[in-house]
Chains A and B, each alone.
Chain A
């Protein structure tokens, strides 16, 4: 059974860097795309970006200048870094398996509530 388990701090100070990790169990990270999505409280979903097994990335233009994704095949995990955060980055962050053109996101992490506040 495939599971995504997220980890990372729930509180980040303004102007600092948000870092989250998604540990994958039950499937090798050496296939598929791996995406991050976020959702401010009471609002809709926003795709942040994805990384492919080769290391190639796609980012949402709205966040591109501040986002970087990476993957660690030895640990079967992938990570998100978002720099220069503000209160507008406060949201629940999800990782998900991204099947590209096959079927979207079929397995999601549990979500991490990240609050940007001093």
Chain B
């Protein structure tokens, strides 16, 4: 099983600041089969990024994904008030499918 470790657990920032979230895999991810999701309280997760760097339909360009192999990053260039939420990475190239433990982006 591929274990995904996200850091930090909590990120305290102000609106307009840049957020950098990390996801590290215990094994190399084949073809960068890594996705990022945003989840707000009481809601289902929303797909942001797939294939490590491809934005999903309707996702603003302030969200970007990068990385390869075992180290991946989600960057939010300028935090909008609606971006304060939980974020999860997920690998979909190897069974069982697994998620990281999540990063909470909170208002400082």
Q: Which residues of A are interface residues toward B (Cβ below 8 A)?
A: 35, 44-47, 50, 58-62, 94, 96, 98, 100-106, 108-111
Contacts of A108 in B (CB 8 A): 44-46
Are A47's CB and B44's CB within 8 A? no
Contacts of B57 in A (CB 8 A): 106
Are B47's CB and A103's CB within 8 A? yes
Q: Which residues of B are interface residues toward A (Cβ below 8 A)?
A: 1, 31, 33, 35, 37, 43-47, 50-51, 54, 56-57, 88, 90, 92-93, 95-102
**A104 is contacted by which of B31, B47, B102 (Cβ under 8 Å)?**
B47
Please give the distance in Å from B106's CB to the nearest CB on chain A: 15
Are B44's CB and A94's CB within 8 A? yes
Contacts of B93 in A (CB 8 A): 101
Contacts of B102 in A (CB 8 A): 44-45
